[in-house]
């Protein structure tokens, strides 16, 4: 028998004994990979909110779907997250929404120098179209609203949701940019 033919046969098509030996190794590899993936998922969920890279928004406040953390600058129109307890502490406490991962995703609607006015049922930015403000939320609870008219300072932004029923800066007012925990983009 030609040695080359024998080698080709052994390398190219292992016999049954070799195949039966490979099957348990494939199973072990699959189990190891599955375990590693499950472990990575558990670690990702256990890490603090600042390390999140992906989030799912299920509310109509901004488009429903997945968002990925970006390094984009904090500018008008970008999506950002803030901790609920930082921007609306009373509402967060009343709804048991005070954990480190309990946050809102909103769009930056006004930045430093923009004139923001909130009086009664209306909010305006730079004398633009009026945006309505509700008196009660969907559960019937009264919504606290800030009132005033001023230009935003260099360290301030106003966050709004895309939906009229969004709980956002119409109720808690302008916030310090330092409260923004991340900038996000839709997937």
Supply the pLDDT for residue 162. Answer: 93
pTM for this predicted structure = 0.71
Q: In what order do the strands lie in the sheet with 175-176?
A: 54-57, 65-70, 180-186, 79-83, 103-110, 156-160, 175-176
Q: What pLDDT shows up at residue 77? A: 96
Any idea where the domains of the chain sit in the sequence?
3-46, 49-186
pLDDT digits over 3-35, tens only? 444 344 344 445 555 555 556 677 877 877 777
CATH entry, 49-186, from 2.10.109.10, 3.90.1150.10, 1.10.10.10, 3.20.20.70: 2.10.109.10
> Looking at residue 106, what is its pLDDT?
96
The backbone region for 9, taken as left when phi is positive above 0, alpha when psi lies in -120 to 50, beta otherwise, is alpha
């Amino acid at each position: 028998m030609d040695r080359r033919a024998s080698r080709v046969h052994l390398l190219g098509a292992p016999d049954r004994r070799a195949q039966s030996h490979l099957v348990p190794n494939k199973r072990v590899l699959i189990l190891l990979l599955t375990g590693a993936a499950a472990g990575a998922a558990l670690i990702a969920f256990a890490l603090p909110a600042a390390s999140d890279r992906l989030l799912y928004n299920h509310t109509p406040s901004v488009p429903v779907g997945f968002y990925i953390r970006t390094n984009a600058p904090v500018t008008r129109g970008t999506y950002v997250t803030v901790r609920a307890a930082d921007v609306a502490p009373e509402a967060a406490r009343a709804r048991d929404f005070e954990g480190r991962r309990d946050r809102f995703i909103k769009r930056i609607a006004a930045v430093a120098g923009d004139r923001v006015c909130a009086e009664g049922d209306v909010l305006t930015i730079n004398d633009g179209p009026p945006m309505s403000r509700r008196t009660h939320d969907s559960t019937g609870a009264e919504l606290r609203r800030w009132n005033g008219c001023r230009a935003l300072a260099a360290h301030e932004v106003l966050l709004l949701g895309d939906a009229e029923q969004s709980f956002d800066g119409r109720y808690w007012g302008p916030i310090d940019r330092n409260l923004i925990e991340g900038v996000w983009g839709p997937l």
